[in-house]
Structure 1
C-alpha cells in the first residue's frame, strides 16, 4: 500500500543584492507606520475634495435627482442609513477578530506562552482569557503565517489610501445632483478647515459632505472589509466569514439604496474598483509593491529605511512535492509472491 508523503520544498530566496536599491523591501513595521501616515494624508486630501464637491453640487431646487431603476423598485426608508453603519461596524469588528486570531496562531506556531489577562478574579479571569485569547485554527494556510497579520494591515492601508485618492478625482471632476435624502436641504460649510479635520478624525461620518456622489465612500470600507474576511478568515474558520461577510455586504448595499444615500452606479463603481485594487495589491510576504514603497522610502522616520536582508522573509512561495512510498508490509508481500 503506497503512502503519500508531502514535503514542502521552498524555492530559492531572491538575491536582494541584485535588485536596485529602490526595489528592495523595507522592514514590515516601517511600512506599517509610514503607510498609516500616508493613509491619513490621503484622508486629508479627500476632505479637501469633499469641500469642492459640496460647493459645486447642483442646486437641489433647480436640478432633480437622476433616474435610478433601483430607486423605483426599492421603497425609500431614510432610517436605513444607520443600519449601513451597523454593517460597517460588524464587518470591521470581524476583521479585527480575524487578525487577532492570526496573531495568536503565529505565537502558537513559534512556541510562545499563552497570553493571559493581567488580573486574577475568579470566573472573570477565565472568561476573559477564553474570549480574548482562545486560538481557533481551521488548519488552512492560504499564506505563510509568519508576520501575515502585519501584511494584512499594510494591504488594508494601501488599498484604502489608493481608493480615497481615486475618489477625490471622481467626486470633484463631475458633480451629480443630490439624491432624495438630507442633501435636498444642503447645509453650508461655514468652517472649512474644521470640516476637514472632522473628516480625517471620523473618516467622513462626522463632517458635512453633500455632492460626493459617483463614488460611494461607504462601499469602499464595506467591500474592503469583506475582501479581507474572504482572503484571511479561512485561517480561523473554513467557510463562516466567506458566508457572513458577503451577506452583510449586500445587506448594506440594500440599506444604502433604500436610504437614498447614493445612486446605484455609485455602489457599482466603488465596489468594483475596491475589489479589483485589493486583488492587484495581492498578499506579499515583503509587504506592499515596491512602486508603493517608493512613496515612503525617502522618509527619515518612523522606522528604519534599511532594506530587509532576511532570506526567510523573502523566500518565494513554497512548492508541495508528493512522494509515493511503499510500506514495509507491501514489500514483504511482494517478496513472498516472488518466492
Structure 2
C-alpha cells in the first residue's frame, strides 16, 4: 500500500516505527492525519500541530515527512536516469529550470507540480485584472499628459546616456518592431505548451501588477520631456468623457506609435521596456533549456529594444533601468515562490503580502514542466476515434 493510501491507523504505526509515538495522539487523534495529509505537511504545519518549543522534535518529524515525500512516486516517476539514481532525482534532472541536476537539499523543497489543471476561471479573472489595469493605465496617461511640464520652462534633465547618444528618428519604431517579434515567438510557444493556461495566467497577473505600479510612479512625479523633438505640451480635456475617449483610443492602439498613439508625461517608468522584458523572461522560462539559440535571440532583442528606446530619446535612462529592474525582480520573486513548496504553502507572510499570488497559485505545488503538444484535434483523428 502506498503512502497516500495510508489510513490514520497506519500513520500511527509509522510514527511508532520511527520512534515518534509520542506524537500519535496529536497527529492521529486530534488532527486525523492520514497518508495524503501526511505528505502535504510542512515544517510550519508540524510546529503548529505538536505545539512544542523543542526544535529537535520539530526537525525530526519534519525530516521524516520529507523522506516520505521524496520516496513517494510522482506522475513522472517513469523517467529513470541512466546511472540508476532515484526516480525523484531523474525527474529533477529532466525538468530543473536551471538546466542542471538539483541537489538533495533542493529536492527537499522543489518538485514537479502534481496538480496542473488549467482552471479557466482563474485564467479569466487574471485576464480581467490585466485588462482593467491597462484601462486604468491609459486613463492615467491622459492625466499625466495634462500635467507635462512646459518645455520652455523645464528643459530635458541631464542624462549621461541621452547626452552622449545621438537622436535616431526611426529608433522607437524599431523598438516596437522588436516587441512584435517577441510577441510572435511567445504566441507560438504558448500554442504548443501543454500547460499554456497556467502560464498565461501567470503572465496576465504579472503584467497587471507591473503596470499598476507604473500608474503610481507616473502620477507621483511629472518629469520634464526627455527630448526637444517630442514637442509635448499639456492637453486640457473639457470633460471626464473626453478623457475616457482618449484613454480608450490609447488602449485600442496598445500605446504604440506604430498604431498612431503618441503620449507625453508617462516617463517613470518605461512601459515598452516592461513589455519586451516580460516577453523575454517568459519565453526563456517556458521553452526547453537546450534551446540556447532561442534564449540568446530573445535576450539580444530585449537589449536592442532598450537601446532603441534610449536612441529615440523617448525615455530617460532611469526610466528604462527602473522598468527592467522591477519587471525582472517581480518575475523572479513570483516564480521562486511558486516553485518552492515551503515558501509557497507554509509561510503566512506570502498570503498577506501577495494575496493575488496565493489565490492564483493555490493549487500549484511545484515546478511547471515544459511539455508540449499539438492543441488542435485533427479531423481524421476524430473520425478514427469515432470508428
Q: Which range, TM-score by smaller chain? A: 0.5 to 0.7
5 Å matches for 1:183-262? 183-186=230-233, 188=235, 190=237, 191-205=242-256, 206-234=260-288, 237-262=290-315
Q: Which residue of 2 aligns with 1:179?
A: 226
> Any gaps of 5 or more consecutive residues in structure 2?
1-81, 92-106, 109-115, 345-349, 369-387
1:30 offset after TM fit, Å? 1.2
> Any gaps of 5 or more consecutive residues in structure 1?
13-24, 104-146, 298-304, 319-339
Residues of 2 paired with 1:47 and 1:220: CA distance?
A: 15
Residues of 1 paired with 2:121 and 2:199: CA distance?
A: 14
4+ long deviations beyond 3 Å? 9-12, 283-287, 289-297, 313-318
2:62 is aligned with 1:8: no
Q: Which residue of 2 aligns with 1:97?
A: 188
Residues of 2 paired with 1:296 and 1:51: CA distance?
A: 33
1:317 offset after TM fit, Å? 5.8
2:264 match: secondary structure? coil
1:183 offset after TM fit, Å? 3.2
Aligned-pair Cα RMSD in Å: 3.3
Alignment counterpart, residue 162 of structure 2, candidates 58, 64, 71: 71
Residues of 1 paired with 2:320 and 2:367: CA distance?
A: 35
Q: Which residue of 2 aligns with 1:53?
A: 144
Q: 1:44 to 1:317 in 2, by over 3 A?
A: closer
2:122 match: secondary structure? helix
Alignment counterpart, residue 161 of structure 1, candidates 208, 211, 220: 208
1:238 offset after TM fit, Å? 2.4
TM-score relative to the length of structure 2 = 0.57
Question: 264-273 or 67-76, which moves further after superposition?
Answer: 67-76
Q: Which residue of 1 aligns with 2:6?
A: none
1:228-247 CA-to-partner distances (Å, cap 9, x unmatched) read 12211226x52122200110
1:281 match: secondary structure? helix
Do the aligned residues in 1 keep the contact of 2:226 with 2:313 (CA within 8 Å)? yes
Residues of 2 paired with 1:152 and 1:295: CA distance?
A: 13
Alignment counterpart, residue 179 of structure 2, candidates 88, 92, 115: 88
Residues of 2 paired with 1:84 and 1:254: CA distance?
A: 8
1:229 match: secondary structure? helix
Residues of 2 paired with 1:80 and 1:314: CA distance?
A: 42
1:70 offset after TM fit, Å? 1.0
5 Å matches for 1:116-155? 147=195, 149-155=196-202
Q: 1:196 to 1:100 in 2, by over 3 A?
A: same
Do the aligned residues in 2 keep the contact of 1:66 with 1:177 (CA within 8 Å)? yes
Residues of 1 paired with 2:181 and 2:265: CA distance?
A: 27
Q: 1:254 to 1:294 in 2, by over 3 A?
A: closer
1:65 offset after TM fit, Å? 0.3
Question: 45-54 or 203-212, which moves further after superposition?
Answer: 203-212
1:208 offset after TM fit, Å? 4.3
Do the aligned residues in 1 keep the contact of 2:148 with 2:232 (CA within 8 Å)? no
Do the aligned residues in 2 keep the contact of 1:189 with 1:208 (CA within 8 Å)? no
Q: Which has the higher helix share?
A: 2
TM-score relative to the length of structure 1 = 0.65
